[in-house]
Homo-oligomer: A and B are copies of this chain.
């Protein structure tokens, strides 16, 4: 809620529809001193989808839930994008069901921009929307990842497949077949394979893998980052005087280390749908949730679903020449 109010200040033409329990929202807006913002409206929803509901269960029982009502607003062109911090599995299933896939897309993919060692972004997908995919789907992920990165970087991004060896000889069949497809394509600046230790080295701007591998890799990164930051804090702040010196001498640089935590970046986008859906962390703070809203605004401005659809059409044409 406070993130929405801040986002309205930041984007003078942005309109936000808050979907959920009307009374609850009205109360919270009053507390924020924003009972009647002209660009903020409320659409009431009776229920919520729980975080532990299975996607199939959520799909069946979703009528009237805030997530479904919000997605219906997008499906009915009453909203340009949906931002949700709810149940990821349910959001993916409902988005696919209500918004439908773009032509040429077999599966949606969850993508997020993470910070690399140079402070640039690296897009990793799929982060868990699909645990098992075929080479065609992986290829589509590469194309969609290239489009979202290009819209942000404004140059042609380097696209790589995540594999377990740099040489052509390694990896599983799926990855090998997708690699051949990418090599033959003119639409993607394919740079080959990267391994897990090259996620953040700038070798690639877009890194593509199936949802199981991507989710494990992202979570592993977050886990190691948290482990290091925790141990570092213990080491530097082990004594009040040491803490003081550490903050005085190294405060700024150490703050910069925090930004290496992939967890800091909020707003994973669901790609491949006829509409814009951004997933925020469940535990996102105001700044993080504002970041997710900013991502949605950016994708609206860039007309991302149309760009993806156009690129996939070009790829199809390329194959038929």
The smallest beta-carbon distance between A21 and chain B, in angstroms, is 26
For residue A218, CB closer than 8 A to chain B, the reply is yes
Bound Cα distance from A213 to B231, whole angstroms: 26
For residue A221, CB closer than 8 A to chain B, the reply is yes
Q: List, in ascending order, chain B residues with CB within 8 A of A200's CB.
A: 223-224, 227
A250 lies within 8 A of B246 (CB): yes
For residue A235, CB closer than 8 A to chain B, the reply is yes
Bound Cα distance from A232 to B236, whole angstroms: 12
B196 lies within 8 A of A219 (CB): yes
For residue A201, CB closer than 8 A to chain B, the reply is yes
The smallest beta-carbon distance between A39 and chain B, in angstroms, is 37
For residue A215, CB closer than 8 A to chain B, the reply is yes
A89 lies within 8 A of B170 (CB): yes
For residue A211, CB closer than 8 A to chain B, the reply is yes
A216 lies within 8 A of B231 (CB): no
For residue A292, CB closer than 8 A to chain B, the reply is no
Q: Is the interface of A mostly helix, strand, loop or mixed?
A: helix
Q: List, in ascending order, chain B residues with CB within 8 A of A246's CB.
A: 249-250
Q: List, in ascending order, chain B residues with CB within 8 A of A230's CB.
A: 117
**Interface size grouping (class) on chain A:** 35 or more
A212 lies within 8 A of B164 (CB): yes
The smallest beta-carbon distance between A159 and chain B, in angstroms, is 17
B249 lies within 8 A of A222 (CB): no
For residue A300, CB closer than 8 A to chain B, the reply is no
B212 lies within 8 A of A132 (CB): no
Q: List, in ascending order, chain B residues with CB within 8 A of A253's CB.
A: 234-236, 238
Bound Cα distance from A230 to B201, whole angstroms: 12
Q: Which residue of B lies closest to A238 (CB)?
A: B253
Bound Cα distance from A230 to B197, whole angstroms: 14
B245 lies within 8 A of A249 (CB): yes
- A227 and B164 in contact, given A131-B172, A196-B217, A216-B217 (Cβ under 8 angstroms): no
For residue A169, CB closer than 8 A to chain B, the reply is yes
Q: Please, could you name 26 A-B residue pairs with CB atoms under 8 Å apart, sorted by A?
A: A117-B227, A117-B230, A128-B164, A131-B164, A195-B216, A195-B219, A196-B216, A196-B218, A196-B221, A196-B223, A197-B219, A197-B226, A199-B220, A199-B224, A200-B223, A209-B216, A213-B213, A213-B216, A217-B217, A224-B225, A228-B260, A231-B256, A234-B253, A235-B256, A242-B250, A246-B250
The 6 A-B pairs of least Cβ separation, nearest first, read A196-B219, A235-B253, A197-B223, A196-B220, A164-B215, A131-B172
